[in-house]
């Protein structure tokens, strides 16, 4: 049997990353990007689909009778109707563990950019402030050490745990995690969990590393921001909709918090009138275009694991299944 593999959005992985051919007989078709309305047509004869951000819903599955496997080129799989795939015995596999270095490193790049006021000082130098200074330095923006600060982490998986480890061992920080109903016993033994209210009020830095679920959507809203320290900063490298974006803008403008650094939005790419666009001129706001995951090393691991998942499925031993 010749397996027909269709990659719906190859451009979501950088062009310099090598995607090796699967080790079985196949036909490979790839598209740079695929609009929602074109997904079903492009998959109508496919046995295996690869997608990062192109959604595959029930109405698409209805038109794809030959589809047997969906390889999600990401950890998050909310773009696939997993329940419907389970009913149809379509295997869905995702990527795991590839971002354990790149996302935590990006997280601390964002933290340090705020706590060291890098954005503000860079702009000041570009505007000639240093040349005008009467001494060797100037103090237009506050700088704070990370040592001794409490870093509150939402999500105790591999990424959140790695951030905690770097914070504690690398910077002398105190990591705490937000408590919830599904914490594993082993995590409770190894980590400190705080109730939500205490978590928000005691954290100097709040970093989001949880999946987007009905329970986590809009978790960081105006009530949460009001309960935080005025000196707290918020970091999100997980899913955009965990933060209520309009409420964050209010919190920034009313100085309920000291700053925010964001890598993910509820809808990407943003529209020109996205609320965060109003914050870009502020020295205490950083916005990066969903690149926390995108180190070259991480993307190569992702690519290799994606092909491993496909090869293992064809061998009858599927891996990293979510359905």
Question: Domain-by-domain residue ranges, the chain?
Answer: 3-96+296-314, 102-287
pLDDT of residue 42: 98
**Distinct helix (H) and strand (E) counts, the chain:** 13, 12
The b/e string for 202-236 (b: 16+ C-beta within 10 A; e otherwise) is ebbbbbbbbebeeebeebbbbebbeebbeebbbbb
pLDDT of residue 277: 97
Q: Residue 208's closest CA among 112, 283, 103?
A: 103
**Residues 273-284, mean pLDDT to the nearest whole number:** 97
pLDDT of residue 246: 98
- Annotated active-site residue 106? The verdict is no
pLDDT digits (tens, 9 = 90+) for 156-211: 999 999 999 999 999 999 999 999 999 999 999 999 999 999 999 999 999 999 98
pLDDT of residue 323: 82
pLDDT digits (tens, 9 = 90+) for 114-168: 999 999 999 999 999 999 999 999 999 999 999 999 999 999 999 999 999 999 9
pLDDT digits (tens, 9 = 90+) for 74-128: 988 989 999 999 999 999 999 999 999 999 999 999 999 999 999 999 999 999 9
Q: What percent of the chain has pLDDT over 70?
A: 100
What contacts 290, CB < 8 A, 6 or more positions away? Answer: 263, 264, 265, 268
Q: Taking 90 as the threshold, does the pLDDT of residue 16 lie above it?
A: yes
Instruction: Please identify which of the residues 27, 254, 268, 297 carries the catalytic annotation.
Output: 268
Tokens (6 digits) for 311: 């090869």
Q: CA–CA separation, 273 vs 271, rounded Å?
A: 5
CATH classification of 102-287 is 3.30.70.3340, yes or no? no
Q: What is the CATH number of domain 3-96+296-314?
A: 3.40.50.720
pLDDT digits (tens, 9 = 90+) for 209-268: 998 899 999 999 999 999 999 999 999 999 999 999 999 999 999 999 999 999 999 999
pLDDT digits (tens, 9 = 90+) for 212-222: 899 999 999 99
Q: What is the mean pLDDT of the chain?
A: 97
pLDDT of residue 140: 97
- Annotated active-site residue 239? The verdict is yes
Same topology, domains 3-96+296-314 and 102-287? Answer is: yes
pLDDT of residue 1: 86
What contacts 265, CB < 8 A, 6 or more positions away? Answer: 240, 245, 274, 276, 290
- Annotated active-site residue 116? The verdict is no
């Amino acid at each position: 049997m010749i397996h027909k593999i269709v990659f719906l959005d190859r451009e979501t992985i950088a062009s310099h990353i090598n995607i090796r051919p699967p080790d079985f007989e196949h036909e490979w078709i790839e598209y740079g990007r695929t609009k929602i309305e074109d997904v079903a047509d492009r998959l109508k004869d496919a046995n295996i689909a690869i997608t990062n951000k192109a959604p595959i819903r029930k109405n698409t599955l209805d038109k794809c009778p030959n589809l047997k496997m969906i390889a999600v080129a990401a950890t998050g799989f909310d773009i696939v109707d997993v329940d419907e795939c389970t009913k149809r015995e379509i295997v869905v596999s995702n990527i795991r563990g590839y971002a354990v270095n790149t996302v935590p490193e990006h997280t601390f790049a964002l933290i340090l950019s705020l706590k060291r006021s890098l954005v503000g000082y860079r702009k000041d130098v570009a505007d000639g402030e240093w040349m005008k200074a009467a001494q060797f330095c100037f103090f237009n923006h506050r700088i704070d050490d990370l040592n001794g600060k409490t870093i509150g982490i939402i999500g105790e998986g591999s990424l959140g745990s790695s951030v905690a480890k770097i914070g504690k061992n690398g910077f002398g920080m105190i990591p705490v995690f937000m408590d919830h109903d599904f914490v594993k016993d082993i995590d409770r033994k190894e980590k400190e969990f705080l109730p939500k209210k205490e978590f928000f009020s005691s954290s100097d830095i709040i970093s989001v590393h949880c999946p987007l679920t009905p329970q986590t959507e809009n978790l960081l809203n105006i009530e949460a921001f009001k309960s935080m320290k005025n000196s707290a900063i918020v970091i999100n490298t997980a899913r955009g909709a965990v933060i209520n974006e309009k409420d964050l803008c209010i919190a920034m403008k009313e100085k309920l918090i000291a700053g925010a650094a964001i890598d993910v939005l509820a809808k990407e790419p943003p529209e020109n009138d996205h609320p965060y666009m109003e914050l870009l001129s502020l020295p205490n706001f950083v916005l990066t275009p969903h690149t926390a995951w995108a180190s070259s090393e991480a993307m190569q691991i992702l690519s290799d694991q994606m092909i491993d998942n496909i090869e293992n499925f064809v061998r009858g031993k599927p891996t990293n299944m979510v359905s």
